[in-house]
Amino acid sequence: MTKKIIISNKIAAQKEEHNNLVELIVANKKLAFQNQEKEKRAAELAFQNQEKEKRAAELVIANTELAFQNQEKEKRAAELVIANTELTFQNDEKEKRAAELVIANTELAFQNQEKEKRAAELIVANTELIFQNNEKEKRAAELVIANTELAFQNQEKEKRAAELAIANIELAFQNQEKEKRAEELLVANKELESFTFISSHDLQEPLRKIQAFSSRILDEELDRLSLKGKYHFERIRLSALHMQTLINDLLAYSRTTATERKFEKRDLNKIVMEVMAALKEELQEKNATIEIGTLCDVEIIPFQFRQLLQNLIANSLKFSRADVPPHIIIKSDIIKYDAADPKKLARPVDYCHISIADNGIGFDQEYNDKIFEIFQRLHEKENYDGTGIGLTIVKKIVENHHGFITASGEPGEGSTFDIYIPAHQNQLHA
């Protein structure tokens, strides 16, 4: 047992030695390899040390260079700060320039459009200029002709000047003659005033005596007269009455010429009513009717216009038809002034148109102007009394109102008198 153990121990010891030997061999090989590797590492390390020395030397140079570059970088950084500040300023300026450039571009675009318009206008203007130049050439040719004509006219003017000098001498003579005529007219007017005074006083006094004695004979001695005497007496009485009427009409006509013309605004309705009241007996005697339409307010000489209407209405009553009651229509309207109207009235003002129409005996249209002439009568005075002055007075009164009157009629169909007077007399003379 012990030998086995010893043998086992020996075997074990031998195995252990063998294992240790094997391990040693392996370790020696590994060590030899390691030594070779160390030698290689040592050689490499030596080489690396040499390289490190070179790198260290290079590093010293590089550090020196780096220190220099850092200094340069600091300088560049400081310069960069300055440059950035400058760049910021420049960027601000650029933005301003850019904004200004936008405005300038907009303005430039507008100016370009204006230039295009001006160019188009220039084309038109050039065309017009060419036309004008052509016209100028024509005018120049016409001017040559005109100058020739002017020279001729100047010669004519010199002749006219000579004639004018003669005419002025003649005019001076005529003015002297007019002054003489004016003085003569003043004398004539005074004589007319004297005639008017005589007519109103001295001539009427014998008439009043004739009428007074005629009335006395009519009351006291008529039965003692023969038929022939009565006839002659009646003729005397009618002649005196006609003379009285004639004097009164002449006085009325003279008053329309000499009376001061003072215009007043009046209602024509009131004037017509006053005339109707004055002719009340004549209207009742003839069973006449007066139809009054719309009547406007006008500026008139009141007493003259009353005389005008009274004469026209009395005229309608006088020349009425025996079998037909007189029917008189009075109306008026305003005619507005129209410059474009080819039939415009005498003055550039509004007119009041007054119409007086009747259903009397009328007259032939060929006498529409003659009836206004003084002492003109269209009918025998045995049939219709009167002096032939009534319508002359009417026309004169209308002329005193700066107007005019027309008459129209047909035999047996009545007459119409149309009066036109300015609606505003005071403005007319302002």
Contact indicator for 362, 414 with CB cutoff of 8 Å: yes
Neighbours of 374 (CB within 10 A): 15
Is 60 exceeded by the pLDDT of residue 375? no
Residue type, 250: L
Is 90 exceeded by the pLDDT of residue 122? no
Over residues 172-226, the pLDDT tens digits come to 888 888 888 778 766 655 655 666 665 555 666 777 777 777 788 878 877 888 8
At residue 331 the predicted structure's pLDDT band, cuts being 50, 70 and 90, is: very high
At residue 379 the predicted structure's pLDDT band, cuts being 50, 70 and 90, is: very low
pTM: 0.47
Q: DSSP for 75-112, please give it.
A: HHHHHHHHHHHHHHHHHHHHHHHHHHHHHHHHHHHHHH
Euclidean distance between CA atoms 256 and 282, whole angstroms: 24
Pairing of β 327-335 and β 351-357: antiparallel
Mean pLDDT for the chain overall: 82
Q: Where are the beta strands (DSSP E) in 183-314?
A: 264-267, 289-292, 297-300
> Which of the listed ranges 187-191, 298-302, 380-384 does the model predict with the highest average pLDDT?
298-302
Tell me the angle at which helices 302-318 and 268-278 cross, rounded to the nearest 10 degrees.
50
Euclidean distance between CA atoms 302 and 265, whole angstroms: 9
The residue to which tokens 């003692």 are assigned: 224
Euclidean distance between CA atoms 391 and 373, whole angstroms: 8
Over residues 67-116, the pLDDT tens digits come to 998 899 999 889 989 989 998 999 999 999 999 989 989 998 999 999 99
In degrees, rounded to 5, the angle at the alpha carbon of residue 262 between the alpha carbons of residues 256 and 267 is: 95
In degrees, rounded to 5, the angle at the alpha carbon of residue 11 between the alpha carbons of residues 8 and 16 is: 120
Tokens of 196: 């008017």
In degrees, rounded to 5, the angle at the alpha carbon of residue 367 between the alpha carbons of residues 363 and 373 is: 115
Over residues 305-321, the pLDDT tens digits come to 888 898 899 889 988 88
Mean pLDDT of 404-410: 88
Is 80 exceeded by the pLDDT of residue 364? no
At residue 160 the predicted structure's pLDDT band, cuts being 50, 70 and 90, is: confident
Is 90 exceeded by the pLDDT of residue 26? no
